[in-house]
Structure 1
Amino acid sequence: MTEASHGQVTRLLSCGILICFIAIHPSSGRAQTADDDWREIRPSAVPTETSTGAQDSLGPTTATGTISGLRSGGNPEMELRLRPQSNGFLHGELVIHQSGFGMTPLDGYVRGDRLEFQAPYGSETYYFEGSRRSDQISGTFESSPSGERGTWSAEVN
């Protein structure tokens, strides 16, 4: 083996070792797991400004209210348990107090006083959007694939 080809082999071997090291040890020090999505990151006590200049005012929140427009009829009570993340993502639970519903996880995002989230119930996925004004959170929803539509309103506890 010539000295030049030995140098190439050494460089390739070093590069391969570096690539393996990076692949095995990501910059965070560990691989992300499915549980990481649900780890709560508490927002700071001071509201932060978004890119639009609006302030994020929704912190960890529980709210109770009603929902209307479900095919099962009526205006069943509902509960929201919202845990906004510092990156704008939203996690939590939705509880609809009506047969066939109950508690389910929700995921979405918060931008200032606006929020959007989705929640699965059986083969349906319910898409919610709304806003917070003072101690009220309210908005609309639509489900897929059935196309149910309605409104919801909740008061922050």
Structure 2
Amino acid sequence: MSRVVCDPALCSGCLACVVACMDQHYDETKADAVSPRIYEKRTSRKSGLVSYITRSCLHCADAPCMEQCPMKVFERTENGFVVAFHKEKCIGCRKCARVCPHDIPRYDKEGKIVKCDGCATRVACGLEPACVRACNTGALRLAE
């Protein structure tokens, strides 16, 4: 099973992954909710150095969001990579958000779940996820 991982030593915080995700998945109801988050971390108070890390859904092997959802909104795709979701089944209880150790599930204006789908359409065509393709420093990559 592959997933997108970030090497913080290479991440420049440029937001190319965020823009690529929004370009790939743009929908006015979920554009801000789906895109990866960029976290800034001060590495040294004296020097003022900053490091960054990009975070989107890790598509966990033991995905607690899948286990806790009473409506069975989530499912593992055929390739085993993506924890897919069926937004129309979501009742907005937010149990998935409470149990996610990575703070990934977010909600649209209607209170329905939205999250990274691993660019399932791109991957099915043999392409990389949009965030990986757009990462100009090589910080994002697919890993087992």
TM-score by length of 1: 0.24
Q: Whose radius of gyration is greater, 1 or 2?
A: 1
Q: Which gives a bigger RCO, structure 1 or 2 (Cα 8 Å, sep 6+)? A: 2
The structure that is strand-richer by fraction is 1
